[in-house]
Chains A and B, each alone.
Chain A
Amino acid sequence: MTSRERILEQIRQNKPAALEKPESIRFDGGYQDTESKFIETLTAIYTEVIIVKSHAELAQKAEELYASVVNRASTLPSLAGWSDFSLNIADPHELELIEIAIVEAEFGVAENGAVWISDKYLPHRALPFITQNLAFVIPRKALVNNMHDAYARLSDTTGWGCFIAGPSKTADIEQSLVIGAHGARSMVIFLMDEDLDI
């Protein structure tokens, strides 16, 4: 018998009597204003939220915010002029030089400030982790209340995706919070009125 068979056999013998699958559960967020809750949550986790009307305003804000920074990358065509680092590379290790990446993402979750990003939006999975600083652009209307709503919305069938809530952090040294553990040292979220062209 293989280990697989042995394990499954022992589970079959030892498991408790079968139960019905509990019904799906979905609690309401109950927030008066999803967007203000989203912004409030993100502020508490060290993330700045900037509202922009259009791609043009986004490009202008990006220019202001990261004026002196080199090695800027973006997945947005409207930021092609702003970028100076091409994501058209074969080996993700080369992304190591990136200082700031501005990336489009699908939606945000008000209760915890998480943003859903996936293969669908990224040429390299490593990008949002390896870049020194990170910014997401999401449509202003793409906000949900809580994680139940998030999974109800999630129809992503790509091979990998991630909820990212704020910059990378650790409190492993005497419980003192330090921002910038292994991933991004800072996080900005642009909420945009205009549609993203995905």
Chain B
Amino acid sequence: MSKAIIEHAEASETFNKDEPYVNWHDETLWFVRQKRDKSSKQLPEWEPLRSAASNIKNYVLSNMDELLISFEQKAKENGIHVHWAADAAEHNEIVLGLLKKHNIDKMVKSKSMLTEECHMNEFLIKNGIEVIDTDLGERIVQLRQEPPSHIVLPAIHLKKKDIGDLFHEHLGTEAGATDPQYLTEAARQHLRDKFLTRRAALTGVNFAIAETGGFVVCTNEGNADMGAHLADIHIACMGFEKIIPKQEDLGVFLRLLARSATGQPVTTYSSHFKKPRDGQEMHIVIVDNGRSTQLGRADFRNSLKCIRCGACMNTCPVYRRSGGHSYHNAVAGPIGSILAPNLDMTKNADLPFVSTLCGSCSNVCPVKIDIHDQLYKWRQVLVKGGHVPQAKEIGVKAMSLVLSQPRFYQWSGRLGRSVMRTIPFVVNNGLNPWFKQREMPEAPKESFRDWYVRNRKN
């Protein structure tokens, strides 16, 4: 049981060994967060837009079944085949079945975190299907035989030298070449050949519209469209929470998505699929895989409002300094840490503890998910359920005691500060995996509260 708990701590310990690298990772993501800030500030209606998105998603949660049925009906009328998968295994079987039916053993795929969640690539490869990821970042991590470390920026953990070496080995670029322009061009040509020769394309879905039966796929590279429009068969896979009621709701979501993700006003391509082109087959696979269970957890169902923009990761001080892979889950970062325990409480018991609960994630989330509150609530659930080993449990118990009694909080804070000032190594001990590779900050001589009390008197 305690094995998983060590996992994030251990993984982040390895990640933190190379300090300049961690600093670089930290700064790179913070830079993306700043682009989001700049972009959002250009819209005076930013906060009302977030509220609108949140309200639409709340409505979706409370009318999920009807919206899905309407979507299915419209999609069928439009000539799209609709499939339902209760879990990852069924999803993978459906995709494999479609490929087999058409005698296809090679497929291109654009970004789909759902297929990562379902471990589809491994399954298909085992069954003799070659899957080529076509998003540049995803192709990079695929060639390295590792999962994406970020839902929007899959190769954000890599330096250009790593990618240069990788492309030299696999794509025959010059040894030592690190120019992003040159490396991207090599990947473009390598992948163009795949687009032109593959008969099946799989894409994710950003939004599925109940009103029209259509779905929208957003990319910057154009890879989803290149794949889908050239293939004989297009398979689009979606978690059922991707549904939105009306086409006009896209006005709200598309204004928020790219600005929150990278600071762009919109992604380069927002592709609206409604009917297959002449002679093409189009399939949608609607996947549950634990989502309907999460929908029943009143404290955690809001996590299903997520539009996968990645903003909560870019802003998270823990994510930035531990990297996506340390989360051992398809979706990393704060949102991943509230989705993962729903899938497996034992294996993912460590993740809700991988947070300082600073609340920055909730502040940037475009659909206003109470991410840090949910992290805190998961801790209670996991401790009560016996999924957390002693060391963490003591911390949590102490914390709930501290937080439930304001006076005790004042006292313990003052005590904590004096302990840190006199004997910092006591706090910086092995019991607290977060402080490995890191010196505890110098304790402030005075807490905000002490300062406030003193100054108010003056």
Contact = CB atoms under 8 A, between A and B. Distances in A.
30 contacts: A2-B84, A3-B84, A3-B90, A7-B240, A7-B286, A18-B63, A19-B58, A22-B56, A24-B248, A25-B48, A25-B52, A45-B264, A45-B265, A93-B196, A96-B196, A109-B266, A118-B272, A130-B230, A151-B248, A158-B275, A162-B271, A165-B268, A165-B269, A168-B221, A168-B268, A171-B262, A173-B180, A174-B159, A176-B180, A180-B185
B275 A159 contact: yes
Contacts of A50: none
A182 B191 contact: yes
A158 B212 CA distance: 11
Most central of A6, A25, A146, A169 by chain B CB within 10 Å:
A25
Contacts of A162: 225, 269-272
A146 B248 CA distance: 12
Q: In which size bucket is the chain A interface?
A: 35 or more
Contacts of A92: 229-230
Contacts of B192: 96, 182
B61 interface: yes
Given A15-B295, A22-B52, A180-B184, A126 B230 contact: yes
Contacts of A22: 52, 55-56, 59
Contacts of B408: none
Contact of A147 (B44, B55, B188, B255): B255
Interface of B: 28, 31-32, 44-45, 48-49, 52, 55-56, 58-59, 61-65, 68-69, 78, 84-86, 90, 134-137, 140, 153-156, 158-160, 163, 180-181, 183-185, 188, 191-192, 195-196, 220-223, 225-226, 229-230, 240, 245, 247-248, 250-252, 254-255, 262, 264-277, 286, 288, 292-293, 295-296, 298, 301
Given A170-B220, A182-B195, A14 B293 contact: yes
A11 B155 contact: no
B211 to A, nearest CB: 11
A81 to B, nearest CB: 28
A175 B49 contact: no
Contacts of B185: 180
B69 A8 contact: yes
A14 B220 contact: no
A150 B251 contact: yes
B229 A124 contact: yes
B263 to A, nearest CB: 11
B132 to A, nearest CB: 12
B84 A4 contact: yes
Contacts of A13: 296
Given A4-B84, A125-B229, A182-B195, 19 more contacts: A7-B288, A11-B240, A11-B295, A14-B296, A16-B298, A19-B58, A21-B245, A27-B45, A27-B48, A160-B271, A165-B264, A165-B268, A166-B268, A168-B222, A173-B160, A175-B153, A176-B181, A178-B180, A178-B184
A94 B296 CA distance: 51
Contacts of B44: 30
Name the prevailing secondary structure of the B interface residues: helix
B69 A17 contact: no
Contacts of A169: 220-221, 268
B180 A25 contact: no
A110 B239 CA distance: 32
B86 A7 contact: yes
B166 to A, nearest CB: 11
Given A148-B251, A162-B272, A163-B270, A181 B153 contact: no
A3 B86 contact: yes
A139 interface: no
Contacts of A25: 48-49, 52, 252
Contacts of B195: 182
B220 A6 contact: no
A122 B250 CA distance: 23
A181 B251 contact: no
B153 A172 contact: yes
Nearest to A149: B251
B159 A27 contact: no
A89 interface: no
B25 to A, nearest CB: 11
A181 B275 contact: no
A114 interface: yes
Nearest to B58: A19
A74 interface: no
Contacts of B32: 175
B248 A175 contact: no
B78 A159 contact: yes
Contacts of A147: 250-251, 254-255, 266
Contacts of B240: 7, 11
A7 B285 CA distance: 13
A183 B221 contact: yes
A180 to B, nearest CB: 7
Contact of A159 (B158, B163, B277): B277
Which of B183, B196, B240, B264 gathers the greatest number of chain A CB atoms within 10 Å? B264
A172 B282 CA distance: 29
Given A14-B293, A25-B252, A154-B247, A175 B31 contact: yes
Given A14-B295, A175-B31, A182 B266 contact: no
A49 B31 CA distance: 29
B265 A165 contact: yes
B222 A183 contact: yes
B272 A130 contact: no
